Structure 1
């Protein structure tokens, strides 16, 4: 009965939908199929009518994310893959129109010339030369027996084909981007012709703003006249109030007290002794059992590595001394000295490395087992332990890393770098726990090393410090109070009270996020918050719609304050950009009316100003003394007749009247090859701009929002 009831409730809705579809059919029968057709649901976009399916896009997206190893966000990957697919399809169309095709033979030629293929020992013959048949056999075996590896090779070959197609098109474009000697000659004369001029400059700032009025219709007309400059994508503006969940002084006091109790032994509810940090010996167990928010660090610490809150006391203390609780970097901590020693802060060392199969330094040439490598390294050790020249000679001969050719020298390494995740701990321990001149065999994850300590510096006191830490966070009661505050704010808005009004009453700071695009994920002031952007573009989200979001460490109440559809920029959005332009235009009209007179002197007298002089002015450096950079004015001067008065010319900063008194051409050159080469070189970097121009001329339909926006 419940199902029938739901059907009855929605029957009118279904009737309306079907009625709209039939009405659309009467107007245009082709729309009926589109109305019920689900094909668009399975498309992510179109390029010149060619569909990009969701499956194609998803496969490319997954492949890209795997290549990047999780180093990009979802939306970064989406944008990169979309651009890659657009580029591929646009290039494909252009190549087809140009009659260029890239076949299997072209791809194969590129593939076998890849260094990692051509120089791979697996594909070389007895003479050490690349053997095509061996490589073909490898690919055939891979296709037959290893689908996963074959998939990787197939993707690689497809990438080679894509790159080859792109290079073919780019080369075609580059062939037409040269320059002639005639162009070189013209460029030389244009840029080096010197002008002497007299001019009058009336700045726009001389007319007060109150004398000109720029209306909304003026701005709208300007936008229509310059459509190409004001095309915009769909966007949203939101405003939000942030309610941070932060620990109160009471919360901090409670955490400090809790940490303080862990210094001394205590008795639990079962009347068992709970060992405090002062008497603890198993420090890993102590940190784990008491839920420390800081892991055990067993490295020695120099004074500079310890919080300045306790560093003086620590380095004046003895083994077993405890410190705290103290506040440091968002934690309350207690610490204990477990060991004191003396150690250099930097060590200079060399090594000879013998890798074995399975070690991280192993490569295609590594054949020794671990036992064989140990036997080899021991034999070498006996040769080099007292012979520096022999050490250098063998290191340069056998080392498989960047120290080959340097006598095995790894240079100076400081303690922090040595005991970081990027360095091998066994190697580091030997360097810093032995003395200058010591040499020995050490096994690491890279293989067997003969490590020699060449030098050490800045030996000083160091300590091992066990530190328990509790992160300073808000209590549950504080979290609840902040939640209630955010919820109450949202409740007030639901009573149709204005966002600004309620915020002002409660003294809440309103923060704007302007110009969010449909696939953005970053919200200014909040970081990566894709969920908020997705909501702002949702089908049911309108201007004035608000919502509370629960984020990590805060609650947000956001409202959509403005909505811009794809097309021409709205007047209010373009106003800041267009208004100064139109103001200067209207001021120019007022200034022109004041430029009375037939000579510069008459014009200067009528405007109570002086004539300025420009000497050796060039188009290459279009600066006028007392006026600044004015390329449009200098361009007009270059094409002006000598000794003729020109007036009412608009520049960047004002309106000009001028006379060109002299035009001095540069000395003719025997040839203009240098200018020609410079022009040709400057055009080599235009491939990207040419592609962008082609993309603008391509019919692209983007449906990604349907996949990544809340509905």
Structure 2
């Protein structure tokens, strides 16, 4: 396997290994430069984790590498949502890296040179090595490929060696991560008492009956929670009101600047004129390059590869015909059919790639390829010559490229193998070098069309843009007093939207593709401010108001009061219904008597386990099921404030499971479940303990 090909083809894996898997990559911070003002240093800091600063320039480079890898894996360009995901994921990896690095250093964990060598070339190589040096057909690890690769690594350019070192760093740091996690996992254990208790909770069956006074039976208009109700509910659920990161809530109004009917008509008229020029064009490739929004190369395509509105018409048209213009998905399209023919569905081919850079130029590479082709025509083994002279990954497989369909190769190579005949030998020069190609076989046959495609999107005219901006400006003028925002929305007949809990790292605003400008403003503004600027996006203008700021940490009652109102209403209902249920319990001999007093039915429930506290047809009722398992058979409970209403329950009996005879197996099952939770729990513990400052919103 050629090292150039390996590194070229696996650049994505190398980068991901370095910044995705290598969560323990060692970071060397820049030393403090004497004479530089403190405020100047702080301007370059986008965050801080456990006292360690994260510099903007270093972090930006990591985002660039992550985006490049993401593009290589996913194909195409990144939309704003993808870019935001990559940035946020890179931040999380950076936080994890720093926190785990400190733990690794504290514990003295290392990966020695001999251990790293064993991970690469030992009896049991790292999984990343196995994945990258496996035969794509069989999936089997090819040690000879690895050996050849390692023997040639020192002769390669510095850039290639640097990429390989990043790949090794990922393996090393992944191993450090495994060591740390194994230490944490080995510190977790299950006692025999815990094993028996878990076994009982999962297998002991409870049969009981209940009477329910459901909250829905009380109209909300009849309940007016007091300040004391809010305070009591807040105090009882205080742990749920901890804000993990600082957030902002924004109200906003969108003024649409999408293309109007007049815009579409004008574009249609211009496109019709363009169609006449396209019909007369004698250089279709140049015409497409100049006039089409999408630069689709002119090549043979199968039916189904074009937009559905155009596809069937193209394959019905005769060569030379112009199909369209047609409007589909906000784009006008037309296609000139240059040729139609029957073509194989797939081809199996082999090649020997000669690199002009190492041969002294394209002419010498072509001469060498011709010589190799002549040797093959005289009976020499293609496979042996490929192994001897090939310069890409296929040489180790005798040049075998496998079986592929149209679209898998570059156009020039594709035309050579699909338009040739089985057994034919060709010499071809492409941007990758000079190829000696053998067409091994061809399968299937279907009609393909050579198509030149021109498309243009329906865009907004300046008049439509100006009209939308004028409406946004008029609205902004009417809300100079922030308190008038809602009234102005109502008066203008507009729709107010709300984007709650914008964070500094991951801003998401419904209907706005890339809302970073709004998020950056929101993190500088004061609560209640209306933005002085009109935010401009591709096809809309936005006027925004900052309605809420929630700091990191415990949120006060006034910050959550509105959001908890439905729960507090039920809390107040529970007080009313609890009194009613308690009165019915007074003097009642059994659950039927309670039900009679309340005008309710007794509902029986069978085979409920403690570990799954769900009452069929209702909800998860932890308090209720917990009470049931604490009752003696035949005994009634007090009134219980549950999730769906106020309950009174009576235990009918319990079905005890067989005695647990094998605690070891039970412990093993529990440890397996705990082991899956350890990594996340360990990271959460480290994160909760660390002081983390996230200032990304100021930079991105």
TM-score (norm. length: structure 1):
0.73
Q: How many residues align?
A: 620
Asked if 1:59 corresponds to 2:58, the answer is yes
Matched ranges for 1:178-327 at <5 A: 178-232=189-243, 233-262=245-274, 276-287=277-288, 291-295=291-295, 297-301=297-301, 304-305=304-305, 317-327=317-327
For 2:115 and 2:322, the matched residues in 1 are separated by 67
Match of 1:441 in 2: 426
Kindly indicate whether the alpha-carbon contact (under 8 Å) linking 1:88 and 1:162 is maintained by their aligned counterparts in 2: no
- C-alpha root-mean-square deviation of aligned residues, in Å? 4.6
Task: Give CA deviations for 1:302-340 in whole Å, capped at 9, x if unaligned.
Answer: 55455665667655654444455443443445554433x
Asked if 1:91 corresponds to 2:78, the answer is no
Task: Give CA deviations for 1:327-384 in whole Å, capped at 9, x if unaligned.
Answer: 3443445554433x2224x523322333445699x9xxxxx97765654455445559
Task: Give CA deviations for 1:644-698 in whole Å, capped at 9, x if unaligned.
Answer: 3323133333333333343332222442332121111111012234324423542
> Structure 2 residue aligned with 1:172, among 161, 183, 199?
183
> Structure 2 residue aligned with 1:113, among 109, 114, 118?
118
Aligned-residue offset at 1:525: 1.0
Task: Give CA deviations for 1:228-274 in whole Å, capped at 9, x if unaligned.
Answer: 2101233222222223333333333333333333455xxxxxxxxxx
- CA gap 1:59/1:116 in 2 versus in 1, 3 angstroms: farther
Match of 1:568 in 2: 555
Aligned-residue offset at 1:175: 0.9
> Structure 1 residue aligned with 2:522, among 512, 520, 536?
536
For 1:311 and 1:38, the matched residues in 2 are separated by 58
> Structure 1 residue aligned with 2:582, among 571, 574, 592?
592
Task: Give CA deviations for 1:268-290 in whole Å, capped at 9, x if unaligned.
Answer: xxxxxxxx33433222444566x
Q: Secondary structure at the match of 2:118?
A: coil
Kindly indicate whether the alpha-carbon contact (under 8 Å) linking 1:377 and 1:450 is maintained by their aligned counterparts in 2: no
> Structure 2 residue aligned with 1:644, among 612, 635, 638?
635
Matched ranges for 1:540-559 at <5 A: 542-559=528-545
- CA gap 1:76/1:623 in 2 versus in 1, 3 angstroms: closer
For 2:274 and 2:90, the matched residues in 1 are separated by 53
For 2:105 and 2:117, the matched residues in 1 are separated by 26
Deviates more, 1:527-536 or 1:313-322: 313-322
Aligned-residue offset at 1:171: 1.8
Aligned-residue offset at 1:172: 1.7
> Structure 2 residue aligned with 1:687, among 659, 675, 678?
678
For 2:310 and 2:661, the matched residues in 1 are separated by 77
Kindly indicate whether the alpha-carbon contact (under 8 Å) linking 1:287 and 1:295 is maintained by their aligned counterparts in 2: yes
Kindly indicate whether the alpha-carbon contact (under 8 Å) linking 1:110 and 1:160 is maintained by their aligned counterparts in 2: no
Q: Secondary structure at the match of 1:113?
A: helix
Q: Secondary structure at the match of 2:671?
A: helix
For 1:337 and 1:455, the matched residues in 2 are separated by 25
Match of 1:29 in 2: none
> Structure 2 residue aligned with 1:665, among 631, 650, 656?
656
Unaligned stretches of 5+ residues in structure 1? 1-34, 121-127, 265-275, 363-367, 385-389
Matched ranges for 1:569-648 at <5 A: 570-576=559-565, 578-579=567-568, 581-586=570-575, 587-596=577-586, 597-624=588-615, 629-648=620-639
- CA gap 1:554/1:707 in 2 versus in 1, 3 angstroms: closer
Matched ranges for 1:138-157 at <5 A: none
Deviates more, 1:614-623 or 1:170-179: 614-623
Aligned-residue offset at 1:174: 0.9
For 1:82 and 1:294, the matched residues in 2 are separated by 34
Match of 1:350 in 2: 348
For 1:45 and 1:220, the matched residues in 2 are separated by 35
Match of 1:504 in 2: 490
The structure that has the greater radius of gyration is 1
- CA gap 1:323/1:606 in 2 versus in 1, 3 angstroms: closer
Match of 1:102 in 2: 109
For 2:564 and 2:285, the matched residues in 1 are separated by 64
Task: Give CA deviations for 1:541-597 in whole Å, capped at 9, x if unaligned.
Answer: 743444302222332222223333334051344325632552453233433333331
> Structure 2 residue aligned with 1:453, among 441, 458, 461?
441
For 1:613 and 1:534, the matched residues in 2 are separated by 56
For 1:64 and 1:313, the matched residues in 2 are separated by 44
Aligned-residue offset at 1:699: 4.1
> Structure 2 residue aligned with 1:410, among 396, 399, 402?
402
Kindly indicate whether the alpha-carbon contact (under 8 Å) linking 2:66 and 2:90 is maintained by their aligned counterparts in 1: no
- CA gap 1:589/1:359 in 2 versus in 1, 3 angstroms: farther
Match of 2:14 in 1: none
Unaligned stretches of 5+ residues in structure 2? 1-36, 71-77, 130-143
- CA gap 1:692/1:479 in 2 versus in 1, 3 angstroms: same
For 1:648 and 1:202, the matched residues in 2 are separated by 10
For 1:296 and 1:397, the matched residues in 2 are separated by 37
Q: Secondary structure at the match of 2:479?
A: helix
Q: Secondary structure at the match of 1:652?
A: coil
Task: Give CA deviations for 1:600-653 in whole Å, capped at 9, x if unaligned.
Answer: 333233223344434443324545567665443333222322333323133333
Aligned-residue offset at 1:502: 3.1
For 1:593 and 1:359, the matched residues in 2 are separated by 94
Kindly indicate whether the alpha-carbon contact (under 8 Å) linking 2:354 and 2:389 is maintained by their aligned counterparts in 1: no
Aligned-residue offset at 1:192: 1.8
Kindly indicate whether the alpha-carbon contact (under 8 Å) linking 2:347 and 2:418 is maintained by their aligned counterparts in 1: no
For 1:181 and 1:605, the matched residues in 2 are separated by 46
Kindly indicate whether the alpha-carbon contact (under 8 Å) linking 1:107 and 1:160 is maintained by their aligned counterparts in 2: no
Q: Secondary structure at the match of 1:171?
A: helix
> Structure 2 residue aligned with 1:489, among 475, 480, 489?
475
Task: Give CA deviations for 1:133-177 in whole Å, capped at 9, x if unaligned.
Answer: x99x999x99xx96x788778867776665455333322211122
- CA gap 1:402/1:641 in 2 versus in 1, 3 angstroms: farther
Q: Secondary structure at the match of 1:619?
A: coil
